[in-house]
Chains A and B, each alone.
Chain A
């Protein structure tokens, strides 16, 4: 699992997937997608002690939460009940990013579940959930994963620094999701200044916990800093697969082909109908973006 990468990647993804003439993904939906797999599972994972990795990433267990199909399932539900394309596409982007990001640890993920039951991993750092929350955090920030988080932060700052500015928030993020931001403004009586703080809060949280856990590992838990591939070496990382590289590659390829064929079938059977029934945010419909110019905080309101 990644401890801060899931916070940083939201801004980069929102910026990169926002394109003219295409659905603008909701930032909050991307956050929901990137946080979702762990929010739903962490409580059970740390309660499972020695079986933590199996509960987190295998089936039987909660491994389905770290598969591409789960993101699609959530998006279909959102499209069905709320008809929001921006949220549906945002959830898929966020959840798929979570799955890809978590391929870095030793336990790996089941990206093409149920079409392939093979964990895919590059084994860069150890999955150490069996150590409990604090032990897991200490192990994560004692190995190469600190550079994984750092890389995501720097990548976000280099490629998507504009996504953190107030003008971007006002002109792109809010219009892409007028209902949610409008609700926060109207129900909680928050001015735009406060909404901007909530928006940036995810990045702040990623940076804050990265610093805090790193210091915790060094000065409180006092674990050795071993930033080597597959590290840290002082703790045993969970490995859920006995298969070799070729076996994993073949099974994953077959699973991937079946998964995308299944997606295509779903699209033909009901996906396209749901998508056509869905609505884009007002900003994409060319009716002024739903932005009420006369309102004091200039927050977009839902039609």
Chain B
């Protein structure tokens, strides 16, 4: 597959933009924290997209399914 084409492994670019806006917003909202983990932590910062775009939706879906049962 040519580079740049989306695959089933990709989320849409709009979701990345959403994550970026959320990241900037949360960073600003948490500026009063002495050591802002979102902006300063080299593990938490890079893991932000996977948490927002994968972990939270997956857990939420599982919770909704569990309630329906």
A228 proximal to B (CB < 8 A): no
Does B28 lie within 8 Å of A208, measured CB to CB? no
* Interface members, chain A 167-217 (any B CB < 8 Å): 167-168, 170, 190-194, 196-198, 200-202, 204-205, 207-209, 211-213, 215-216
B18 CB to nearest A CB, Å: 12
A269 proximal to B (CB < 8 A): no
A267 proximal to B (CB < 8 A): no
Does B24 lie within 8 Å of A201, measured CB to CB? no
B50 CB contact (under 8 Å) in A35, A168, A194:
A194
Q: Which residues of A contact B39 (CB under 8 A)?
A: 137, 209, 212-213
The complex places the Cα of A267 from the Cα of B60 at a distance, in Å, of: 54
Does B27 lie within 8 Å of A201, measured CB to CB? no
The complex places the Cα of A208 from the Cα of B40 at a distance, in Å, of: 11
Q: How many residues of A contact B (CB 8 A)?
A: 34
Contact with B along A218-229 (1 / 0, CB 8 A): 001000000000
Taking chain A's interface residues, is the majority helix, strand, or loop, or is none over half, making it mixed? helix
- 16 A-B residue contacts at CB 8 Å? A133-B35, A166-B7, A167-B7, A191-B9, A192-B9, A193-B54, A197-B53, A204-B19, A205-B42, A208-B24, A208-B45, A209-B39, A211-B20, A212-B24, A216-B28, A220-B28
Does B50 lie within 8 Å of A198, measured CB to CB? yes
The complex places the Cα of A212 from the Cα of B54 at a distance, in Å, of: 23
B52 to A, closest residue via Cβ: A197
Does B49 lie within 8 Å of A197, measured CB to CB? yes
B48 CB contact (under 8 Å) in A167, A193, A201:
A201
B31 CB contact (under 8 Å) in A170, A207, A216:
A216
Question: Known: A133-B35, A193-B9, A216-B28. Is A207-B4 also a contact (CB below 8 A)?
Answer: no
Q: Which residues of A contact B5 (CB under 8 A)?
A: 165, 167
The complex places the Cα of A278 from the Cα of B19 at a distance, in Å, of: 40
Does B53 lie within 8 Å of A205, measured CB to CB? no
> A39-B42, A212-B38 given. 12 additional CB < 8 A pairs?
A193-B8, A196-B9, A201-B46, A202-B46, A208-B23, A208-B45, A209-B45, A211-B20, A211-B24, A212-B23, A213-B39, A216-B28
